[in-house]
Amino acid sequence: MGLAGFRGAMGTFVRVAKVHEVPPGSSKVVVAGGHTVALFNVDGTFHALSNVCLHRGGPVGEGSLEGTTVACPWHGWEYDVRTGQNVTNPSARLRQFPVRVEGDDVLVEA
């Protein structure tokens, strides 16, 4: 399949990381199809969100992950990594990207 990925029902899944590169409780900023994506590992389940905070465009994927909540490192806006919803204003939501794991590869739909 290679780096180009393969076509899914909605888009193309691209390999963005190896499972061991994002251990549980951590995150990694990756690029999928031209989108900068924050990839999170919550207890072995991967989630992917837009890496651009809705407040001032901060790098969400560089924030601290506590359980299922990430805090943007610039001004502390918090998001649920499972849904992309802002913790204090659920109508504010980061874009989610579908994720799948195949073997040791983490793929994100872009």
Please report the DSSP string for 3-35 in residue order: TT-EE-SSSEEEEEEEGGGS-TTEEEEEEETTE
Strands 45-50 and 64-66 turn out to be unpaired
Higher model confidence: residue 53 or residue 7? 53
CA distance 61 to 104: 21
Q: Which tens digits make up the pLDDT trace of 13-61?
A: 999 999 999 999 999 999 999 999 999 999 999 999 999 999 999 999 9
What global pTM score does this model have? Answer: 0.89
Provide the Cα torsion 63, 66, 67, 70; round to 10°: -30
Whether CATH 2.102.10.10 fits 6-109 = yes
CA distance 44 to 30: 18
Radius of gyration of the CA atoms of the chain, in A: 13
Contact 65, 39 (CB under 8 A): no
Residue 7 burial by CB count (10 A; 0-12/13-18/19+): exposed, middle or buried? Answer: exposed
Residues in CB range of 105: below 8 A, 6 or more apart: 15, 17, 18, 19
Domain ranges of the chain: 6-109
Q: Which tens digits make up the pLDDT trace of 66-106?
A: 999 999 999 999 999 999 999 999 899 999 999 999 999 99
pLDDT at 3: 44
